[in-house]
Amino acid sequence: MSADPRAAAAAAAQWLGAREHFIDGAFCPSADGERRQVLDPATLETIAEVAEGEGADAERAITAARRAFDDSDWSRRPAAERAQLLEALAALIERDADALARLETVDSGKTVEESRWDMGDVASVMRYYAARARELGPDAPLEAPAPNARSVVAREAAGVCAMICPWNYPLLQASWKVAPAIAAGCTMVLKPSELTPLSTLRLAELVREAGIPDGVFNVALGTGARVGAALVESPAVDLVSFTGGLASGRAVMAAAARTVKRVALELGGKNPNIIFADADLDRALEHVLEGALFHAGQICSAGTRLLVESSVHDALVDALAARLERIRLGHGLVEGTEMGPLISEPQRVKVNHFVLEALEAGAELRAGGVPATTGFDGAFYRPTLLGGCDASMRAVQEEIFGPVFTVERFDSEAQALALANGTVYGLAAGFFTRDEARIERVSRALRFGTVWVNNFNVYFAAAPWGGYKQSGVGRELGHAGLDEYLETKHIYRSFESSPLGWFGRR
Ligand code: NAD
C-alpha cells in the first residue's frame, strides 16, 4: 500500500470502471446528465464523479426489472441455477476482495482491515443463500377438505424489489438484500446511499461477469428524496427493503402504504451493553471497545450505551477512559490506523452536539469530546466517554452514530433491565456475567432482535437480524431473510367438483 494515502485513495478509486446507473445490463448516464462528486471522508477530496439520478432514472430501472420479472423465465428457473449464479458471484467477490475493500474504505472512511472483513462476509452471505436456494423444494401438499381435490402451497418470488441502502456498510448491507432476492427469483433495483455508491457500481460489473441475466439486477444512483422516493412510490415495485435511519424509515413506510407494498425495514438502534459485577472484566472491556467503536461507532448495533453495576463501575470506566485515549485515528488506508473519520462534517457536528448537550445536562467528560487532529481534513472525532449519564438524556435515548459512550450505573438486575429496555429501539443488546441463571433470565427479558452474552456484535449469515420496536420490521439473514422475498400461494385443484347448486335454481 502506498505510503501516501491520497495517492492510494486515488488508485483505489481508479480501479472502479463505470460510474453510471446500471440498467438492463448496461451502464448509462442520468436522463438529465447530472453528476455527483463522491468524497473520501478522510480527506474530503473528490475521488470519483458518478451519475446523479432523479425519478426518471428510477423509472427506467424499474421498467427493466419489471420486464425481467414478467417477460423472462428468471423466476421460474430451477432454483439450483440461481444458486450457481450466486456461487459465481461469491467467487468474483473473493477474487476482487482486496481491491473492493480499498474502494469501500476510500468511500466510507472505515479502516481497510474492517473493509476486508466486510468483503469476506459479503461472499459468505452469497454462498449461504446459494445453499438456501438449493433447498427451495417442490410445493408442499396440504390435506384438502374434499377427497377429490388436491391442495398445495407454493413459494414464489415476491416480484420487483426496491432495495435502499445506507452508507455505513454499503456492500455488506446490499448483499443481505441482493443474495436472498436472487435466491428467491426476484428482480431488483438497488439504490446505494448517495454518499457511498462506489462498491455497488463494482458489484454491478461483477453481476454481469457472473452471468446474471440483464434486467435482474439494476442500480439507480441518487438521493433518497428523488430516486429513493420514486422507487418506494412506484406501483410497479412489489416490495421495498430499506436500511437506514428511523426518520427515513417512517417516511418509507408511509409512502409504501399508498400502494400497499411489502415493506422490510432495518432501522437504527440504541444498543445497551450491560456489565454485571461478576463478569470477567478484562474480557468485557475488550468487547466493550470492539462492540462500539468499529467504523468510528457508525454501526446500527454499536453498543455505546453502557450500563455498569455500581461495585465495578469506577474500575471499568477508568480502564475504558485510558484505552480510549490511546486509540490511533487516521486515514483508513494507512496500516496501523485503528479508527477512521466520521462520514461527513454534518455528522461530526451532530455527534458533537449530542456530547455538548449531555455535558450541559450533567454528564461528565471522561475522554474525547473533541475533533481529532490527524493531518487530514476529514471529520475525525476522538472516542468519547460520557460518565454520570441518566435515562433522561437525549444522548442516552437516541442514536448518536459516532464513537461516543454514555455510562449509567445500576444496582440490581431489574433496574438494569428496565433501563436497557427503556428506549424506542430494540435492535441489539449485550451483557456480561458468569451467572448461568442470570444468563437465561436476562436473555429472555431483553426486548431486542439480537442478544449477545459475553460478546458483542457477532454477525453471521445464518443468524436472523432485525429489530424489535422501532428498530424495524422483518428480518434479514438466515431463513427469515429469504422468506422476505417469497410470496406464499395456495393452489387448490378439484378433479371432480361437486358444486352446491345454490344460486338461482329455485
Ligand atoms: P438514511 O436514512 O439517511 O439513508 C438511508 C438510505 O435511504 C439512503 O440511501 C438514502 O438516500 C435513502 N433515503 C433517505 N430518505 C429516503 C426516503 N424518504 N425515501 C426513500 N429513500 C430514502 O440513513 P444513513 O444515514 O444512510 O444510514 C445510517 C442509518 O442506518 C443509521 O440510523 C443506522 O442505524 C441505520 N442502519 C441500520 C442497519 C440495520 O441493520 N438495522 C444497518 C445499517 C445502518
**Tens digit of pLDDT for each residue in 74-101?**
999 999 999 999 999 999 999 999 999 9
pLDDT exceeds 60 at position 262: yes
Instruction: Determine how β-strand 305-309 pairs with β-strand 404-410.
Output: parallel
Residue closest via CA to ligand 1's atom 4 equals 244
Helix 112-135, helix 170-184: angle, nearest 10: 10
Separation between Cα atoms, residue 87 and residue 154, nearest integer Å: 25
Is the CB of 162 within 6 Å of ligand 1? Answer: no
pLDDT exceeds 60 at position 352: yes
pLDDT exceeds 80 at position 6: yes
R_g (Cα) of the chain, nearest Å = 24
From 171, 195, 200, 243, mutation site for ligand 1 pocket: most ligand atoms within 8 A of C-beta: 243
CB neighbour list of residue 361: distance below 8 Å, 6 or more residues apart: 392, 393
Residue with cell 391442495: 151
Mean of the pLDDT values across residues 280-308?
Answer: 98
- State phi, psi for 240 to the nearest 5 degrees: -120, 125
Which atom of ligand 1 lies nearest, measured to the CA of 231?
A: 20
Q: How far is the CA of 52 from the centre of ligand 1 (A)?
A: 18
Q: How far is the CA of 83 from the centre of ligand 1 (A)?
A: 29
Instruction: Determine how β-strand 486-494 pairs with β-strand 149-157.
Output: antiparallel
In this prediction, residue 351 carries a pLDDT of 98
Q: How far is the CA of 167 from the centre of ligand 1 (A)?
A: 7
Residue with cell 441475466: 213
pTM of the model: 0.97
Q: Look over the chain and give the mean of its residue pLDDT values, rounded to a whole number.
A: 97
What are the pLDDT digits (tens) for 147-206?
A: 999 999 999 999 999 999 999 999 999 999 999 999 999 999 999 999 999 999 999 999
In this prediction, residue 506 carries a pLDDT of 76
Residue with cell 466517554: 385
Separation between Cα atoms, residue 191 and residue 174, nearest integer Å: 9
pLDDT exceeds 60 at position 2: no
Active centre residues (catalytic):
266, 300
Is the CB of 53 within 6 Å of ligand 1? Answer: no
Separation between Cα atoms, residue 449 and residue 421, nearest integer Å: 12
pLDDT exceeds 80 at position 140: yes
In this prediction, residue 137 carries a pLDDT of 85
Is the CB of 256 within 6 Å of ligand 1? Answer: no
Is the CB of 449 within 6 Å of ligand 1? Answer: no
Q: Please give the C-alpha separations between residue 284 and each of 206, 276, 320, 406, 475, in angstroms, as whole numbers.
A: 40, 10, 10, 16, 28
In this prediction, residue 217 carries a pLDDT of 99
Residue closest via CA to ligand 1's atom 23 equals 244
- Nearest C-alpha neighbor of 290 from the set 449, 114, 410: 114
From 110, 168, 248, mutation site for ligand 1 pocket: most ligand atoms within 8 A of C-beta: 248
Instruction: Please state, as a whole number, how many other Cβ atoms lie within 10 Å of the Cβ of residue 284.
Output: 26
Contact 341, 41 (CB under 8 A): yes
Q: How far is the CA of 166 from the centre of ligand 1 (A)?
A: 4
In this prediction, residue 505 carries a pLDDT of 87
SS3 (DSSP) at 452? strand
Is the CB of 197 within 6 Å of ligand 1? Answer: no
Separation between Cα atoms, residue 456 and residue 430, nearest integer Å: 6
